[in-house]
Amino acid sequence: MNRYSEKIDIGSLELKDQVVSINRVTKVVKGGKNLSFSALVVVGDSAGHVGYGMGKAREVSSAIKKGVEAAKKNIVRVPITSKGSTIPHTVTGRYGSGSVLLKPASEGTGVIAGGPVRAVITAAGIQNILTKSLGSTTAHNVVKATVDALTRLKQPERVARLRGKQLSDVMSDSKHQRSTMEQRPSKKTAEEAAAPAAETAPAAETTAPAAPPAAVPEG
């Protein structure tokens, strides 16, 4: 995670911590068992800054405190659009066997996420987004994969500057790609294609012609 992070002054940020999971760890030694707790904590200012950390101690409160201190050292900046408070584009983050898909959503959608993903998204300040966890459901892998996805986001202004284009051109290109994918016709199966033809074909006459009445003998 350090390879993506930049130098951020955390002293000017109003960070709020949120505990994602707490696990009890047992270490077997010669004299018996030593019990301790590990806490996974997410911190953020709800304005584009988020980080995660893990702490381990004999008491839960001490483990959470260590996790908060570790999370403050791993704060990353997240690009959030001014319109809609969502992410600029679709992105997928991976860590270990965990994989998380993030997609921008229109205003009013809300945060469609659950568990560890919601904790990270809420701490970052994103208000409208669609998410899907595609791999491991372990809290540590999901949180790290979500943060990895957020660090892969690119600002439209920076992309336009690197390509030598205007911001409106970059945004129009992305909208054209989405509309092209939406208008792409879906492949019909052979059964679906044959169904309308079978319905329109005239039904064959299966009734046999009526037999003539039998002659009545004269008495």
Comparing 142 with 206, the larger pLDDT belongs to 142
Taking a C-beta distance cutoff of 8 angstroms, is the pair 54, 147 a contact?
A: no
Residue type, 167: L
> What is the rounded average pLDDT of the residues 110-139?
91
> What is the rounded average pLDDT of the residues 113-127?
91
Average pLDDT, the chain: 79
Give the dihedral sign, CA 105/15/20/101.
positive
Q: How confident is residue 4, by pLDDT bands cut at 50, 70 and 90?
A: very low
Tell whether the model's pLDDT for residue 106 goes beyond 80.
yes
**Residues 167-209: tens digit of each pLDDT:** 566 555 555 444 444 455 555 555 555 555 555 555 545 555 5
Taking a C-beta distance cutoff of 8 angstroms, is the pair 43, 72 a contact?
A: yes
Residue 106's CB is within 10 A of a number of other CB atoms, namely 10
CA dist., res. 145 & res. 91, Å (int): 11
Task: Determine what percent of the chain is predicted with pLDDT higher than 70.
Answer: 68
Report if pTM > 0.85: no
